[in-house]
Amino acid sequence: MQDKVLRAIKKRIPAHIKRPLKAAWLMISTDSVKPNRVEVEVEVQAPAAQTPVAAACVTFNYAAALREVNTSEAASNNNQRQLLCQWLDLKNSCRAYVENNLHSLDGVSPKIVEFLGSDGEFDARILAEYVGQDEYLTLSLAQLRQIHRLLQNYPASPVSRYPLMSAADFRQFLDGKTVALVANSAALLDSRRGSEIDGHDCVIRFNSYKIVASDTGAKTDVHAAIHLHSYNLQQHVPVRIIFSGSRKLWEKSVREKVDPKSQDRLGDASLHWPVRSTQLVAESGAKVPTTGYNMIRLIDLYGVAKEVNLYGFDGYASAPLRLDEAMHLPIADAHEYSAETAWLMEHTIRVDSVKKKLI
């Protein structure tokens, strides 16, 4: 039965909804929902896919069934569940509006009904291509895009030994906290900012960070690291996030370098490259965003932290401050430091020579 359905999907479904539809059917066909999605077991019968619109509804109905069952689940998935409910309710409302008004909506193609019936990846071009001048759809689809950027839609990582944290979970983790991001910069030496930094609810450090307690603080709540190196990965932290521009390299790095016991929670694939992710910051660029820039832009996107302070972010005007074994590493030329510095100048207030406040 599964093979027949998958063959039908391949023949009848447009490319832009084929992949999410196939993923939904595979989940329906298994005994349980994969980790790091909404973790419940649901039995859903896939309707016959006679048309592209009917086929697209398979994923929509599956997600709706998840929402129905989840109303009685424990609060641990509350944030993800709320986002899912908002997403589905708004899509359902838009779909009903389009179906009831197609005769009067000259700028709307039937393809929008396929999109509204799909739980696949959002295509921002649909706003310009299919919405036309209809104010309700324009506003509603803009809201859908905002929700979608926070709602994890990746299949769960096969790295199942790790307690994973999604993009939505990380947003909840930061909600209402004071946050300090500490650069690996010698500008912090002799600054005597250690107590001030440790006084934040959440302290975030990067890659091969070095602790000089009186100047850098000693507390680490989140360790963000590029996949290329193993520095500090043996240090236990509450949250660790590995960044990589490649999903495959991210998984390989996690498997080979990260001990499951070295952190309480590990960022999942939805967090593997925030600046370039179409579901998160979605910033284009030819060069590689730095680890610090990935984290700063992600926190800025969320907008839920009570206060965000940056220490030592001076665009490498000062010498690096790293673990001794990492001091031989050159300053990478793969990054666009001037563009990142320009963004920081526009979105921060300079407090003093080592501290900036994100605005």
Query: Cβ(348)–Cβ(356) under 8 Å?
Result: yes
The SS3 of residue 105 is coil
The answer to whether position 158 is within a domain reads no
Give the C-alpha distances (Å, rounded to integers) separating 88 from 133, 148, 241: 23, 10, 29
DSSP strand E in the chain: where?
A: 164-165, 178-182, 202-206, 222-226, 237-243, 263-267, 307-311, 348-350, 355-358
pLDDT for 39: 36
Pairing mode of beta strands 263-267, 348-350: unpaired
Amino acid at 252: K
Q: Which of 328, 327, 344, 251 is nearest to 289 (CA)?
A: 344
Mean pLDDT to the nearest integer, 142-168:
63
The answer to whether position 168 is within a domain reads yes
Query: Cβ(295)–Cβ(204) under 8 Å?
Result: yes
Task: For residue 104, count CB atoms less than 10 angstroms from its CB and return exposed for 0-12, middle for 13-18, buried for 19 or more.
Answer: exposed
pLDDT, one tens digit per residue, over 167-226 is 888 999 999 999 999 999 999 999 999 999 999 999 999 999 999 999 999 999 999 999
179 and 318 in a single domain? The answer is: yes
Rounded Cα distance, 27 and 10, in Å: 17
Which residues have CB under 8 Å from 150's CB, separation 6+?
A: 83, 167, 168, 171, 279, 280, 302
Domain end call among 91, 123, 150: 150
pLDDT for 152: 45
pLDDT, one tens digit per residue, over 276-287 is 888 788 888 768
pLDDT, one tens digit per residue, over 44-103 is 333 333 333 333 344 344 444 444 434 433 333 455 566 666 767 777 777 777 667 666
- CATH number of 352's domain: 3.90.1480.20
The answer to whether position 156 is within a domain reads no
130 and 169 in a single domain? The answer is: no
10 and 119 in a single domain? The answer is: yes
98 and 226 in a single domain? The answer is: no
Share of the chain above pLDDT 70, in %: 58
350 and 223 in a single domain? The answer is: yes
Query: Cβ(316)–Cβ(188) under 8 Å?
Result: no
146 and 249 in a single domain? The answer is: no
Domain end call among 127, 150, 173: 150
Query: Cβ(99)–Cβ(54) under 8 Å?
Result: no
116 and 209 in a single domain? The answer is: no
Range of the domain at 250: 164-358
206 and 309 in a single domain? The answer is: yes
Rounded Cα distance, 313 and 184, in Å: 8
Task: For residue 198, count CB atoms less than 10 angstroms from its CB and return exposed for 0-12, middle for 13-18, buried for 19 or more.
Answer: middle
Task: For residue 170, count CB atoms less than 10 angstroms from its CB and return exposed for 0-12, middle for 13-18, buried for 19 or more.
Answer: buried
User: How many Cα atoms within 13 Å fall on the side-chain side of residue 99?
Assistant: 12
pLDDT for 112: 57
The answer to whether position 101 is within a domain reads yes
The answer to whether position 188 is within a domain reads yes
pLDDT for 111: 54
pLDDT for 232: 97
Count of domains observed in the chain: 2
123 and 187 in a single domain? The answer is: no
Domain end call among 125, 150, 175: 150
Q: How confident is the model at residue 349 (pLDDT cuts 50, 70, 90)?
A: very high
221 and 109 in a single domain? The answer is: no
Q: Answer whether 0.85 is exceeded by the pTM.
A: no
Amino acid at 15: A
pLDDT, one tens digit per residue, over 295-340 is 999 999 999 999 999 999 998 789 999 999 999 987 777 778 889 9
- Higher pLDDT: 131 or 87? It is 87
> What phi and psi, each to the nearest 5 degrees, are found at residue 6?
-65, -35
Task: Determine the Cα angle at 272 with ends 21 and 78, to 5°.
Answer: 65
182 and 319 in a single domain? The answer is: yes
The answer to whether position 157 is within a domain reads no
Q: Which of 3, 50, 53, 51 is nearest to 25 (CA)?
A: 3
129 and 256 in a single domain? The answer is: no
pLDDT for 312: 96
Share of the chain above pLDDT 90, in %: 42
Whether 163 shows a pLDDT value over 90: the answer reads no
The answer to whether position 159 is within a domain reads no
Whether 119 shows a pLDDT value over 90: the answer reads no
